[in-house]
Amino acid sequence: MKRHLFYFLATALASLSILHAQFDPLAEEGGMGGGGQQQSTVSLLSSHSSIAPGEPFTVALKLDIAEGWHAYYINPGLIGKHMDLKWDLPEGFKAGDIEWQTPHIAKMFGMNTYGYSGTSYFPVTITPPADLETGKTIELKLKARWQICDDDSCVDEPNEGEYGDYSTSVNTAAEAVANAAAASDFTAIAKHAPQTSDEWAFSASDNGETITLRFTPPSSITLKEGEVYLFDRDGQADAQAEQKLTQDGDSYLLTVGRFKGNDFNVDPGPELDKLTGILSINDGAQSFAIDAEFGADAAAGAGKTLESASAGKLLGVMGGMLLGGLILNLMPCVFPVIGLKIMGFAQQAGEEKSKIVMHGLTFTAGVLISFWALSGLLLSLRNAALSGSGKEVGWGYQLQDPYVVVVLLLLMFIMALNMFGVFEIGTKATGVGGELQNKKGLSGSFFSGVLATVVATPCSAPFLGAAIGTAFALPSFQFMLAFTAMAVGLALPYLVLSMFPQLVEKLPRPGPWMESFKQGMSFLLFATAGYLLWVYVGQTGLPFMLNLILGLSSIAVGVWIYGRWNMPFKPARTRIIAKLLALFFVVGGTLSCLPPEKSTIEWQAWSEEKEEQLIAEGTPVFIDFTAQWCVTCQVNKKRAYPEEVAAMFKEYGIVALKGDKTNPNPEIEKALQKLGRTAIPVNVLYVPGKDEPIITPEVLSASYMKELISENLQKAE
């Protein structure tokens, strides 16, 4: 909330500054903001005083920018307008694009922007025609506009965003002659131009959350965190995100978060097939042009090791795991056993304190070793899943996979129902505790610790699920350390009570408070399930949410049947039927929640104008008049558009339009009336050459769609 408020106030202040300048009667014609003064002076320079036929040369727009202000790189990083050039050249001349110099980080509203300060250059390569007539003087004309900003206001130059006119003259000759008067300027341009070098190797990867640039410098170069910065050209990387440099053998990995949009209404960065920009070394002392195709190479090394958590973050994770282990002891399937175990230790030791403590330590060792075995198995599965994934792994990586998210979602939801009392598991723990006290010697205490971990697992599943989600992105050592903290939390009460067995009498007596505590904890798990549901819907799309709601409802019915009729006092036949029905509803609900097969049909928003334009062009058009609240519409989306139907849309050149009636839309109402329909779903195929559209049945299937397309259309050439 503070961040959004900050953005709002900063934007409001900037707007007021601009409005003040626009209506300030003292403002000069040269610009707005900045007290009404234009904040940069301009000159147009040529690298050569004489040019030769067919030989390229450079012309640069030079800005001398006032102190405290900055112009913008092609990617401003936050908001801002970069240099915009329009050339008016003699016939046969060709101008290239701006050859962007290495920028630096500037600030606006205290946030990062990419730009240039002081004396800055915007060079362009000009190529004259091969048949250029010599012995003449020609004029190179240019229209330009740009924006410069300080920390809290901006100026559109040269005149409130209009283009300014600039020119320079050169002679034509048989041989080119360098412009001595501008030699120092073009030396500065060469110094700040990004280089290319065969001694540096670059590759890149994009996993949807982070972008990684892998580069291998010459062996003589050693780099440190903060000495390297990537200025992304296309806005794919987040300029506000920290750029992390790690070393992987002879190579370095520079990782930055992907740009997801900002509160200045800037859209998320484009998803391109390559990374372009400038890699700046030591504040531009060296810089290299980046043009690297996205692939698995850059992240392959990163996928072998996971990012270590900082000391503070690791302590937070371990504290949470320790607390989770302690809370396990308050569950009804564990708490009543604590006193029995400690009294068993005392009886075996003959009330000798040192021996009681030894039993407690041995019991703790059993808990630790069994936890290490279970977490080691989990770690091996985790590492196997990530091995060769070609993706960089960091915090939150596990939540990028919809299958991981849905497993955690179902785990949290089912265990929340369990803790709320809809059904019970783990109720045999107390009986096991009674049996364990009959075992003798330290081996019995050790086995008690092992068995305590096993019998506590049903009650610990909610905490283990959350712990797995947290610890999944930790490297192996920190992963095991986190689960060790949970094991210590589970064993700690036993260890303390073995040292002070008289405290057993101080424990609160088991009673209804334990059930209330357990039910209260269920709401935390429902909240966690709700958060995971939100993440999952973001991955699968809002239309899939109906499947999730129905699936979760089916699972809830299944576990309710299990908890209601699979009781020990029920007849055997009733228990068998209950188990079968529970299995049916749970399996069906789980299948309904699994990630959908994504269709590649590109739906465009429907409008009457677009429909008429496409039909007039002879393009096949398929229109789906739908709404979020229309159940039949959602069923159609799941059944009618699998990948093979999507392929036919491309093969036959069909443009798919979606008329969304989720909110009132008079234009759609009129279109439905023309079709003689009032209720949705309505699906229509317009075939070129036919006056009347084909209106489909309300319920669609993939086989119907294939037949509809193949029988009425011809494949696009």
CA pair distance 218, 525, nearest whole angstrom: 52
Same domain, 503 and 569: no
Looking at residue 34, what is its pLDDT?
Answer: 41
Same domain, 323 and 425: yes
CA pair distance 243, 228, nearest whole angstrom: 9
Q: Check pLDDT > 50 for residue 430.
A: no
Strands 57-65 and 104-108: unpaired
Same domain, 299 and 345: no
Residue 399 within a domain: yes
Same domain, 702 and 566: no
Which among 191, 222, 255 is the end of a domain? 191
Q: How confident is the model at residue 358 (pLDDT cuts 50, 70, 90)?
A: confident
Domain count, the chain: 5
Lowest mean pLDDT among 52-61, 182-191, 429-438: 429-438
Q: Check pLDDT > 80 for residue 102.
A: yes
Same domain, 618 and 514: no
Most confident by average pLDDT, 76-85, 138-147, 190-199 = 138-147
Residue 244 within a domain: yes
Same domain, 495 and 555: no
Q: How confident is the model at residue 344 (pLDDT cuts 50, 70, 90)?
A: low
Partnered with residue 277 across adjacent β-strands are: 232, 290
Average confidence score pLDDT of the chain: 78
Cα separations (Å) of 301 from 155, 220, 258? 45, 21, 19
Q: Check pLDDT > 60 for residue 242.
A: yes
CATH assignment of the domain containing 232: 2.60.40
Same domain, 352 and 477: yes
Q: Check pLDDT > 60 for residue 290.
A: yes
CA pair distance 587, 105, nearest whole angstrom: 54
The tens digit of pLDDT for each residue in 559-575 reads 999 888 888 788 888 88
E-strand stretches of 109-153: 111-116, 119-127, 137-149
Q: How confident is the model at residue 685 (pLDDT cuts 50, 70, 90)?
A: very high
Q: Pick the residue with more confidence: 451 or 93?
A: 93
Q: Check pLDDT > 80 for residue 419.
A: no
CATH assignment of the domain containing 708: 3.40.30.10
Residue 587 within a domain: yes
CATH assignment of the domain containing 179: 2.60.40.10
Which among 289, 304, 319 is the end of a domain? 304
CA pair distance 693, 277, nearest whole angstrom: 49
Closest CA to 382 of 309, 528, 480, 463: 480
Residue 569 within a domain: yes
CA atoms within 13 A on the CB side of 708: 24
Residue 5 within a domain: no
Looking at residue 357, what is its pLDDT?
Answer: 79
What's the whole-number mean pLDDT along residues 85-109? Answer: 93
Looking at residue 434, what is its pLDDT?
Answer: 41
Same domain, 452 and 316: yes
Cβ atoms of 414 and 457 closer than 8 Å = no
CA pair distance 258, 241, nearest whole angstrom: 8
Lowest mean pLDDT among 261-265, 438-442, 695-699: 438-442
Say how many C-beta atoms besides its own lie within 10 A of residue 285's C-beta: 10
Single-letter amino acid, residue 583? L
CA pair distance 601, 37, nearest whole angstrom: 53
Residue 341 within a domain: yes
Most confident by average pLDDT, 92-106, 361-375, 404-418 = 92-106
Same domain, 486 and 364: yes
Looking at residue 513, what is its pLDDT?
Answer: 62
Residue 20 within a domain: no
Which among 241, 276, 304 is the end of a domain? 304
Looking at residue 22, what is its pLDDT?
Answer: 35
Cβ atoms of 15 and 79 closer than 8 Å = no
Residue 443 within a domain: yes
Q: Check pLDDT > 80 for residue 42.
A: yes
Cβ atoms of 189 and 121 closer than 8 Å = yes
Same domain, 140 and 248: no
N-terminal to C-terminal alpha carbon distance within the chain? 54
Same domain, 554 and 654: no
Looking at residue 306, what is its pLDDT?
Answer: 56
Same domain, 607 and 551: no
Cis peptide bond N-terminal to 681, omega within 30: yes
Share of the chain above pLDDT 70, in %: 75
Q: Pick the residue with more confidence: 522 or 308?
A: 522
Lowest mean pLDDT among 76-90, 200-214, 288-302: 288-302
Q: How confident is the model at residue 690 (pLDDT cuts 50, 70, 90)?
A: confident
Looking at residue 296, what is its pLDDT?
Answer: 57
Question: Which residues lie closer than 8 Å to 185 by C-beta, 6 or more apart?
Answer: 45, 60, 62, 121
Q: 0.75 cut: is pTM over it? A: no
Range of the domain at 210: 201-304
What's the whole-number mean pLDDT along residues 189-208? Answer: 88
